[in-house]
Structure 1
Amino acid sequence: MEGGGAKVVMLTGSVLLLLPVILFVTSFMFWPGLIIRMYNWFWRRRLGLSVRYSVVGSFRFCYSTRGTPGEAQSLLLLHGFSANKDMWLPVVKFLPEQYHVVCLDLPGHDGTSRFQNEDYSINGQVSRIHEFVHSLGLAQFHLIGTSMGGNLAGVYAARFPKDLCSVTMVCPAGLEPPEDTDFVKSLREIEVRRNQNLDQDQNKESIALIPSSIPQLQEMLEMCCYKPLNLPKQMMMGLLQNRLPHNPFYRHLFECISAEESRYSLQKNLHRISVPVQVVWGQQDRVLHVSGASVIAAALPHSQVALLENCGHSVALERPRKLATLICNFLSAQEVTHGGTHKKNS
């Protein structure tokens, strides 16, 4: 009997040891999106980031943060269209811990409030970001944004220069560059068909940044990255699984930011930016043409422009170490040039 009892105990122990493995394999097979979220949670913990919330009226902001405001230079990072705060994890990995880092979920994204009647135009989102900034008490911070977030960062710098010491725009939207990518050309064709009422159901129009199948997701990744990402099938399924429920919102958001009011909002506001400006762009960007950098350089002759070879639109994913280094060098140069005063005369 004692031997049988020992066997039962050993068997029970083996099952308990295998249970986490079984749960992981089951989740990976049937709920791969959950595994990706768990991975991001683990990565945030490893980098010392904690997720927090700030409520302004009925609106809730979600953000991840590391460091203490006031004791170090604050960096506020704005993600791109249909992404979230976790897209900055590869970059945060290479940012010195001396910085106070804040990665915000933009309105409607991930943990931040999504309201049906919310103003998701560029100006509407900038106003919300301003509310968030003041809810945290951020002052004289460095603002970083990529793609749609780059557009938001530039317009924020134009509207609220007293909040900032400087701004970095990575492959920003909101410009009318000398050249267009095939992606932008396809959007123009969609717009022409809509204006001609050739397609009665606008929701049937396929937008490359809003995939609804694995092949479409693969096409989006190939368009956004210079080098193809050969991700495992289950990981692709997980990415798609996490995106699909939000596609109706992404489509609505895309309509808002591509409307006449917001389409060239950054370009319209460039002349109002008085803080030091850094521009980073992938030379092989197939979403927003790299010639957009020349538009900013012409309007802001003192801006610092870095064009990265062998890099596409997803700079934070493709060249995170390089981007972090460029940002740190830019901030260090501002401190030396202005003797600790981060403002530049307009």
Structure 2
Amino acid sequence: MELRRQHQHGYEFVDEGQGPVLLLLHGLFGALSNWQDVVQECAPDYRVIIPLLPVYDMPLTQAGVPGLVAYVEGFVKALALPASFTVLGNSLGGHIALVYTLKNPARVSRLVLTGSSGLFEDSMGGSFPKRGNYAYVQERVGYTFYDPKVATQELVDEVFNVTNSNAKCLRIIAIARSAQRHNLSKELAKIAVPTLLVWGLNDTITPPPVAHEFERLLPHAELRFLDHCGHAPMMERPAGFNAYLRHFLRTTEATPVLAA
């Protein structure tokens, strides 16, 4: 299905389906389309909402995890979302979801994290993309996946265009450094909602030991792995990801929000 973008209240977003709200947050080099298979799977039973995070054009002074969390808070308020909802985040989006939950515990009923930062991440394989070097960008984007072929030419072209903009690169670097500084290990015990962790066994950016550490630190977490899968399971192994997601949503549907 083709995702229909909407523009309201100064925000660009996808809003598909009806029912309990699933708020989906993409990563640093992510896009709305990263969640396409999840939208297709869940829209018949849920209202699936994906804000386009302003990672490339937000004010440089706000370019970081706190600024992006504030952006999500403004988005939730502008759309007048229900009192509580489920938040899903990939990579940087998972990090934002965690901080949002810590700041707004009554608003989040469940969490789903996949390849989340917040404890450790090897951004772009340990280096930032080199300007003007398409082959290098192609290699680094491919590093995100177990199968580099998942990195389509369209995706590589998008990242390549971003890395050739000084203004966008400055924001990417500022946000990535903010994420690496913003370690949540001492705060995760405060998150009392049911949490699903779906990780690629072949994730080289947030490797499997990171997933095990999240499981240890989050009080109500369950961890599921997908083999032959890298940093974006919802893109690379959508059927497996959606099966775990569906089971989690079904088994936690009546679970109340626990006091922090």
CA contact (8 A) 1:182 1:286 kept: no
Aligned partner (choices 241, 244, 249) of residue 323 of structure 1: 241
> Hey, what does 2:8 align to over in structure 1?
54
Between 98-107 and 315-324, the greater mean CA deviation after superposition? 315-324
The offset of 1:301, in angstroms, is 3.8
> Hey, what does 2:258 align to over in structure 1?
344
- Matched residue count: 259
Q: Distance in 2 between matches of 1:182 and 1:50?
A: 30
Letter in 2 for 1:51: R
> Hey, what does 2:227 align to over in structure 1?
309
CA contact (8 A) 1:183 1:286 kept: no
The offset of 1:248, in angstroms, is 3.5
User: How do residues 108-187 of structure 1 correspond to structure 2 at under 5 angstroms?
Assistant: 108-109=55-56, 114-139=57-82, 140-176=84-120, 186=126
TM-score (norm 1): 0.67
After superposition, the Cα gap between the structure-2 partners of 1:319 and 1:246, relative to the gap in structure 1 and judged at 3 Å, is farther
After superposition, the Cα gap between the structure-2 partners of 1:51 and 1:270, relative to the gap in structure 1 and judged at 3 Å, is same
CA contact (8 A) 1:155 1:265 kept: no
CA contact (8 A) 1:151 1:265 kept: no
The offset of 1:211, in angstroms, is 6.3
Q: Distance in 1 between matches of 2:43 and 2:122?
A: 35
The offset of 1:277, in angstroms, is 1.1
Structure (1 or 2) with the larger CA radius of gyration: 1
Q: Which has the higher helix share?
A: 1
TM-score (norm 2): 0.87
Gaps of 5+ in 1: 1-42, 188-206
After superposition, the Cα gap between the structure-2 partners of 1:240 and 1:131, relative to the gap in structure 1 and judged at 3 Å, is closer
Q: Distance in 2 between matches of 1:66 and 1:79?
A: 16
Q: Distance in 1 between matches of 2:106 and 2:258?
A: 11
Q: Percent identity?
A: 25
Gaps of 5+ in 2: none
Q: Distance in 2 between matches of 1:146 and 1:95?
A: 17
Q: Could you list the runs of 4 or more consecutive aligned residues of structure 1 that deviate by over 3 angstroms after TM superposition?
A: 115-118, 180-184, 234-248
Q: Deviations over 1:260-286 (max 9, x none)?
A: x76234334312212211111111111
After superposition, the Cα gap between the structure-2 partners of 1:249 and 1:267, relative to the gap in structure 1 and judged at 3 Å, is farther
Q: Distance in 2 between matches of 1:309 and 1:166?
A: 25
